[in-house]
Amino acid sequence: MVFSSIIFLFMYLPFVLLIYYIVPRKFRNLFLFIVNLIFYGWGEPIFVLLMLFSTAVDYTHGYFINKYRANKRKAKGFLISSVVINLSLLGFFKYAGFLANTLNVLPFVNLPVLTIPLPIGISFYTFQTMSYSIDVYRGDAPVQKNIITFGTYVALFPQLIAGPIVRYKDVAYQLDHRRETLDQVTHGVKLFMVGLGKKVLIANQMGAMWDAIRETGQANGVLGSWIGIAAYTFQIYFDFSGYSDMACGLGNMFGFEFLKNFNYPYISKTITEFWRRWHISLSTWFREYVYIPLGGNRKGVKRQIFNLLVVWFLTGFWHGAAYNFILWGLYYGIILIIEKFILLKWLEKLPSAIRHIYTLFIVMIGWTLFYFEDMGQLASYLYCMFDFTQGIIGQKALSITISYLPLFIAAALASTPLGAKLYEKIKYNGFVWLPETAYCAVVLILCTASLVNQSYNPFLYFRF
């Protein structure tokens, strides 16, 4: 099930909210555990078993890691076992087909290519369960004795299918001791409405714009091709950050506080800054559970460069089992290394307009790599972005651009903290509830209209 759907907004959510606040506190985790599974199983019921398996395995491993805390070797053995099982699940469901295809290129290799549908959100929840085992092993979080509470964490529906990746230690205390307040729930509703608006009113429209322009191919001209990828740049940000906002908002509605996942990435002046603002929970995860354990920057420059490349290879590969994602990850790895050791000093001296342009240029080329799984299509789109022989902008691309121009500008403005700054100014005014409520009403009504009409409403994370 996805948040931006009629079934979620007008069936699942009302029932879950109602019953959640009716049942006594001690049963709330159990209730969440059950409805999480319904949420997850909707569409692909079979994968509920996978979720239960994941929960049972990691619960058991956590238990033994804790039990053998004194015996380093045994504890480490269980940690390794947990990580291996989690990565095997991910590997089997997400990467088996890709690896088989890759190896089949070699002579005399003929592996069967399994076509297993990818369980939604598997990349998110396997990372979460790994964080549990590691946190418990490191002593960063207490072991969870109650398997229901643990299951509630693993499958917590707000962040189950598209993040943020909530580390166990960040919610360990909340799982058992959260106290929902009306102010928190209200804040959750507001955040949810911001996210829903981003997803349905901006991301979906920018996605339709990108699809329309992309189809025209070469005839778009140089500017047309850049406008196309700009539309995708907006789509992916508003879709993903909208999902994260909805997740945090829903978390609030049930008494949870999740960490911020996006912080206006497109206003960054360097790529280093961009990755501090984009998908923060993923970068944090890789830093904490891969980069630092590998030695980070403590073992010399050569080792640091190696570590960075490993992390960015994995970051890319995490986004999907295809070459272009690896390429995309390494692209960022290399740029970040160049920035770290050479470019940052120079960039600081440049006017900020040029730094913005530099960053957006790199990011947009990045999204081109990210979008096209087919290397031929990727190359031809990149070629169009620099091929001045096809004119500036094609007739069709121009027509599409004019159609979406107001929203395109709105998306550009909404990518900056402008709105947040304005809100900051009126936040403590006694009448702030008026614009807040009006905003929520408009978003609710327009999103309902769009969803009832079954307008273009893609789910971008089925590859994750």
Partner 1 sequence: MDNTKENKSFFRFAPLVLFVVFIFTFCILFLVMPKSDYSSTEKRKLEQFPKFSAETLFSGEFTENFETYLADQFFGRNFWKGLNSYYNLCIGNNGADRVYNGNDGYLINVPVEEKESRVQSNINTVAKFSKSIDVPVTVEIVPSTGYIMNDKLPLNHFNYNDNVYFNQIIDVCRNNNIEFIDLREAFKQIANDGTQLYYKTDHHWTTGGAYVGYEHLCKKWGITPTNKDSFNIDTYNDFYGTTYSTSGFWFTKPDTIQIWNNPENTEKNITVDIVEGDTQETYHSMYFLNHLEEDDKYPIFLDGNHPVEYITNTNVKSGRLLIIKDSFSHCFAPFTADNFNSVTLVDLRYYKGSVSEIVKEEKFDKVLVLYGIDNFATDTDLAWLK
Binding site for partner 1 (CB under 8 A): 5-7, 9-11, 13-15, 17-18, 42-46, 182-183, 185-186, 189-190, 192-193, 205, 215, 395-396, 399, 402-407, 428-430, 432-434, 436-437, 440-441, 444-446, 448-455
Q: Which two tokens stand for residue 398?
A: 């121009």
Nearer to partner 1 by C-beta: 57 or 189?
189
Shortest distance, position 68 Cβ to partner 1, whole Å: 40
Residue 326, amino acid: I
Shortest distance, position 80 Cβ to partner 1, whole Å: 35
For this structure, is 356 an active site residue? Answer: no
Query: Distances from the Cα of 41 to the Cαs of 97, 121, 366, in angstroms?
Result: 23, 12, 34
Q: Alpha-carbon distance 307 to 363, whole Å?
A: 22
Nearer to partner 1 by C-beta: 176 or 215?
215
- Contact between residue 220 and residue 425 where contact means Cβ atoms under 8 Å apart: no
Q: Which two tokens stand for residue 208?
A: 């339709």
- Please give the full DSSP string across 274-319, using - where no structure is assigned: HHHHSSHHHHHHHIIIIITTTTTTTT-HHHHHHHHHHHHHHHHHHT
The candidate with the shortest Cα–Cα distance to 155, out of 278, 50, 269, is 50
- Contact between residue 420 and residue 229 where contact means Cβ atoms under 8 Å apart: no
Q: Alpha-carbon distance 254 to 25, whole Å?
A: 11
Shortest distance, position 447 Cβ to partner 1, whole Å: 10
Contacts of 151 (CB under 8 A, 6+ apart): 33, 36, 52, 55, 59
Q: Alpha-carbon distance 446 to 438, whole Å?
A: 12
Nearer to partner 1 by C-beta: 15 or 92?
15
- Contact between residue 156 and residue 32 where contact means Cβ atoms under 8 Å apart: yes
Shortest distance, position 261 Cβ to partner 1, whole Å: 22
- Contact between residue 205 and residue 414 where contact means Cβ atoms under 8 Å apart: no
- Contact between residue 390 and residue 384 where contact means Cβ atoms under 8 Å apart: yes
Shortest distance, position 250 Cβ to partner 1, whole Å: 12
Shortest distance, position 43 Cβ to partner 1, whole Å: 5
The conformation of residue 33, written as its DSSP 8-state character, comes to H
Nearer to partner 1 by C-beta: 100 or 189?
189
Contacts of 70 (CB under 8 A, 6+ apart): none
- Please give the full DSSP string across 126-165, using - where no structure is assigned: HHHHHHHHHHHHHTSS-----HHHHHHHHT-HHHHTT---
Nearer to partner 1 by C-beta: 221 or 366?
221
Shortest distance, position 78 Cβ to partner 1, whole Å: 34
Nearer to partner 1 by C-beta: 98 or 192?
192
Would you call 73 helix, strand, or coil by DSSP?
helix
> Which one from 177, 187, 319, 356 is the annotated catalytic residue?
319
Nearer to partner 1 by C-beta: 57 or 440?
440
Nearer to partner 1 by C-beta: 73 or 421?
421
- Contact between residue 28 and residue 20 where contact means Cβ atoms under 8 Å apart: yes
List the end-to-end C-alpha distance of the chain, in Å, as a whole number. 16
Shortest distance, position 186 Cβ to partner 1, whole Å: 4
Q: Which residues are catalytic?
A: 319
